[in-house]
Amino acid sequence: MNGITFCNRLLAVILCCWVSVAAAEDERFKPFVLASNEPGDLGETITATKSKLESAGFSIAGEYTPYDGAHIIVVTNAELKKAAASHSRGGYIAAQRVALTDINDKIQVSYTYPYYMAKMYRIESDLKDVNDKLKQALGFVEFFGPDKGVKEKQLGKYRYMFGMERFDDPYELATHESHEKALETVEKNLAANISGVSKIYRIDIPGTQQVLFGVGFKGGTEDDKDQDDKYIMSEIDFKDLRSTAHLPYELLVNGKEVEALHARFRIAINFPDLSMMGSNSFMNIMSTPKALYKALTAVAGGEG
């Protein structure tokens, strides 16, 4: 092989590698997976779905019916808990959400995409085994959510727009004298439905002082509708494929601290293409981040 031929081949290899890297960086990901969309009875489908999940090795941490025609099953397993323990605020990944939504006489069965959520929460594991188990148990039709998705290189540092919060800009809700006191306060206030916030599930992360709670929000009056799950979803979840698995929201007890992901991050990661203004936009829920912060602070025993 002469020098010119060798250089040409080397250049071709380098170019191919560069193109592959560029393509990988441009790959886009979506937050939800549609498992099936078939005619059926919602109650029967819920029962069958729970059975499939348990047969696949998942534990059901809790269930939530935020409004008619929608039901969410929250699951966890050993791999998710291990990933949750992998860094100091990794607890959020412990829960995966499976949603069943009755739309036009069909039941949409969907779930949060583990890889997408892991990267948003800065987890190194790709959770491939979790994804495979969900796919085998429930099926796979397509990824969905935003029309274009989020680029791979943006996942770990995602924010909706300049000046908005990222994963490491949470609501800092309260600090207690001990981990036990923090847990006692949260449990007591959730049991009392303080500020219209109820407990959906609790997941303790082995080997850490991280405890993840899933919570539901109700707003019974016009004054507190901005925190209400049904109202919020009526404004932002309007596409043919529903993003019901956005719910429920999380609260994390981490040692003596109680925190939650900022709403401008937590909502945006599941609705990254939602417009800022106009119909079905963030403008319509402009007061929601403050409302959620106020309600969660009351639950955490903090000073709002």
pLDDT digits (tens, 9 = 90+) for 175-222: 999 999 999 999 999 999 999 999 999 999 999 999 999 999 999 787
The rounded distance, in Å, linking the Cα atoms of 115 and 2 is 46
pLDDT value at 255 more than 50: yes
What lies within 8 Å, CB to CB, of 11 at 6+ separation is none
Question: Three-state DSSP class for 31?
Answer: coil
Residue 14 has pLDDT above 90, yes or no: no
pLDDT digits (tens, 9 = 90+) for 49-105: 999 999 999 999 999 999 999 999 999 999 999 999 999 999 999 999 999 999 999
Confidence of residue 10 (pLDDT cuts 50, 70, 90): low
b/e per residue 210-249 (b: at least 16 CB within 10 A): bbbbbbbbbbeeeebbbbbbbbbbebbbeeebbbbbbbbb
**Is pLDDT of 17 > 50?**
no
* Mean pLDDT value across residues 96-125: 97
Give residue 304's pLDDT band: very low, low, confident or very high (50, 70, 90).
low
Which residue would you say has higher pLDDT here, 9 or 125?
A: 125
* Res. 23: pLDDT tops 70: no
Classify domain 29-157+165-300 at the CATH superfamily level.
Answer: TT1751-like domain (3.30.310.70)
Query: What average pLDDT does range 297-301 have in this prediction?
Result: 98
Query: Region 1-22: what's the mean pLDDT?
Result: 51
> Which of 8-22, 52-66, 251-265, 276-290 is predicted with the least confidence, judged by mean pLDDT?
8-22
**Half-sphere exposure of residue 163: CA atoms within 13 angstroms, side-chain side:** 0
What is the Cα–Cα distance from 215 to 298, expressed in whole angstroms?
Answer: 13
What token pair was written down for 213? 């709670």
Confidence (pTM): 0.91
- 182 Cβ partners below 8 Å, 6+ apart? 174, 176, 253, 255, 256, 257, 258, 300, 301
Share of the chain above pLDDT 70, in %: 91
5-9, 135-139, 261-265: least confidently modelled range: 5-9
Confidence label for 15 from pLDDT (cuts 50, 70 and 90): low
